[in-house]
Structure 1
């Protein structure tokens, strides 16, 4: 287990109720503790529930369901698509591996998306509609403040409602 990281099972109930993550949590950190995770120690879990099957996540720091800063990585398989959506908080993303095609707007048009490769970065303000596609296995790191929300433009795209 990563150094100075606790598995906060007390957070599981809140995250489950919010539809953010499954019962098994990835490592999460308490704000008063330092965090150090070696690249070979990342543990991904299926989910979160707000994304279609195939996505995996690892919470690195904080609690996306609570107020405060958090960091989370998402690992997406080749061809994975995230339908148009927006968030109630800023979304600040760095591409770690693969190619993340990101587009803006309420309609997903793959040809209009910008390809971001490792090191690529974007930051969107709350309420900005956007969508994404993964080319190759893609890992992104998402930093923001909680409580984290995702609202799909079209309800039928929301896996929590299926």
Structure 2
């Protein structure tokens, strides 16, 4: 019995090492100068740019993307279908919670700040300066605007 238990532990350990080795082979490294910006998807208000760093936001699974917005940009109240984990890379995001964009109830989060929101939590954002945030979550990514008329795709 003792030999079987030891064999099981050795087998599990070797499987773990094999998994670790394959994860290492599939690594991603992107230096700041190598970030490739493109126009943001039309689900966001015009003027933003995105760069997918890892994964595919349109498919199931983990992904990381950066969102760059100009000064004066705003995203009306909305929700997401999965957790939204955000780090402010540069600039400042003014983040507010709730179904109405009450700017007096927002909080300014400068570079280095972090926030995480659960699925379905209504929030909004506006920006007084060019800002870059990094969003890490599970796909497929989506936005549901509290007021359907705020959806930029409706006006196209």
TM-score band, normalised by shorter chain: 0.7 to 0.9
What secondary structure does 2:33 align onto?
Answer: helix
* TM-score normalised per structure 2: 0.82
Which residue of structure 2 lines up, in the alignment, with residue 73 of structure 1? 66
Which residue of structure 2 lines up, in the alignment, with residue 122 of structure 1? 115
Which residue of structure 1 lines up, in the alignment, with residue 3 of structure 2? none
Q: For structure 2, which runs of at least 5 residues remain unmatched after alignment?
A: 1-23
Counterpart Cα distance in 2 of 1:147 and 1:37: 22
Q: Does 1:91 align with 2:104?
A: no
Q: For structure 1, which runs of at least 5 residues remain unmatched after alignment?
A: 1-30
Tell me the alpha carbon deviations over residues 68-87 of structure 1, each in whole angstroms, 9 at most, x when there is no partner: 00000000000100000000
Q: Does 1:50 align with 2:43?
A: yes
- 1:133, distance to aligned residue in structure 2 (A): 0.6
Counterpart Cα distance in 1 of 2:36 and 2:104: 33
From 153, 158, 161, the equivalent of 2:154 is: 161
Counterpart Cα distance in 2 of 1:128 and 1:73: 21
Of structures 1 and 2, the one with the larger relative CO (CA 8 A, separation 6+) is 2
Which residue of structure 2 lines up, in the alignment, with residue 17 of structure 1? none
Which portions of structure 1, spanning 4 or more consecutive aligned residues, are displaced by more than 2 angstroms? Answer: none
- Structure that is richer in helix per residue: 2
Which residue of structure 2 lines up, in the alignment, with residue 22 of structure 1? none
Q: Does 1:33 align with 2:26?
A: yes
Which residue of structure 2 lines up, in the alignment, with residue 107 of structure 1? 100
* TM-score normalised per structure 1: 0.79
Tell me the alpha carbon deviations over residues 29-60 of structure 1, each in whole angstroms, 9 at most, x when there is no partner: xx962111111111110112111110100000
